[in-house]
Amino acid sequence: MKNNTDNTNSQKQEVANERRKFITKYGKLAIVTPVAVTALMSPKTSYAMSSQGNDGSDDGVI
């Protein structure tokens, strides 16, 4: 019974170490990504192009 408990604890510790490695490696990316996506999607820097050749005037005709 004790051997089974030790094995389970060892597996839990291994999983915890893998999580720590992942957070250490990709944690910085998690901080930068939302800022970069927000900057790329800002209306001043990106806009949808019309596929019908609309010149941008808002005359209500599509």
Q: What are 16-43's pLDDT values in tens digits?
A: 999 999 999 999 898 889 988 888 887 7
Residue 7 covered by a domain = yes
Residue 9 covered by a domain = yes
Q: What is the pLDDT of residue 23?
A: 93
Q: Judge whether residue 46 has pLDDT over 80.
A: no
Q: What is the pLDDT of residue 26?
A: 92
Residue 24 covered by a domain = yes
Residue 59 covered by a domain = no
Question: Count of domains in the chain?
Answer: 1
Structural domain containing residue 10: 1-41
CA atoms within 13 A on the CB side of 59: 6
How does residue 56 score in pLDDT terms, banded at 50, 70 and 90?
Answer: low
In the numeric block, which tokens belong to residue 25? Answer: 């490696």
Report the distance separating Cα 57 and Cα 40, nearest Å: 25
Mean pLDDT of the chain: 78
